[in-house]
Amino acid sequence: MKEGIHPRYTEAVVKCGCGNSFTTRSTVPEIKLDICNMCHPFFTGKLKFVDTAGRIEKFKTKFGSSGYASLKKGKKAAKEEAPAG
């Protein structure tokens, strides 16, 4: 290996948003994660929505009250316009 061109490979602490942390090796001293193996739905078997920007609540407030009304309205209007035959 050439001297002076490679980054230092040292121990790093990995911290997850759920509070779990573990030690590994990396070129950076600290790594922050949103989801790890202790809180990921694949490993836990529990369904969990990760919503950091409030997108789910925004969608529910925008479209939650109407339900399927807009879909029914579209089908009803199409039936009225179709010729009876």
* CATH code of the domain in which 38 resides: 4.10.80.400
* Residue 56 maps to a domain: yes
- pLDDT of 29 reads 94
How many structural domains comprise the chain?
Answer: 1
Strand-pairing partners, residue 30, are 13
- pLDDT of 25 reads 96
**Range of 25's domain?**
10-81
Return d(Cα 65, Cα 62) in angstroms, integer.
7
C-alpha distances in angstroms, 66 versus 8, 58, 62, 63?
A: 57, 14, 8, 6
* Residue 2 maps to a domain: no
Tens-level pLDDT at each residue, the chain (85 residues): 788 899 999 999 999 988 899 999 999 999 998 888 888 877 777 776 665 667 777 777 787 766 665 555 655 555 566 565 5
* Residue 5 maps to a domain: no
